[in-house]
Amino acid sequence: MSIPDGLWYSKDHEWARLEDDHAVIGITEFAQGELGDIIFVEFPKVGQKFSGGDTFGTVEAVKTVADLFMPLDGEIIEVNNALDEEPDRVNSDPYGAGWLVKVKLSVPGGTGDLLDAAGYKELIG
Task: DSSP letter for 115, please.
Answer: B
Q: Does 106 bind other proteins (CB under 8 A)?
A: no
Task: Report the distance separating Cα 62 and Cα 94, nearest Å.
Answer: 17
| Minimum CB distance to other proteins smaller for 65 or for 82 | 65
60 touches other proteins by CB under 8 A? yes
Q: Does 91 bind other proteins (CB under 8 A)?
A: yes
The yes or no reply on residue 123 touching other proteins (CB under 8 A) is no
Instruction: Decide: is 40 part of the binding site for other proteins (CB under 8 A).
Output: yes
Residue 1 near other proteins by CB under 8 A: no
Element (H, E) at 45: none
Other beta carbons within 10 Å of 58: 13
CA distance 19 to 40: 26
Instruction: Name the residue among 121, 85, 82 with its Cα closest to residue 101.
Output: 82
Cβ–Cβ under 8 Å, residues 72 and 105? yes
Which window, 7-15, 34-42, 75-83, 99-107, contacts other proteins (CB under 8 A)? Answer: 34-42
Region of 5-13, 16-24, 37-45, 105-113 interacting with other proteins (CB under 8 A): 37-45
Binding residues for other proteins (CB under 8 A): 36-37, 39-40, 58, 60, 62-63, 65, 88, 91
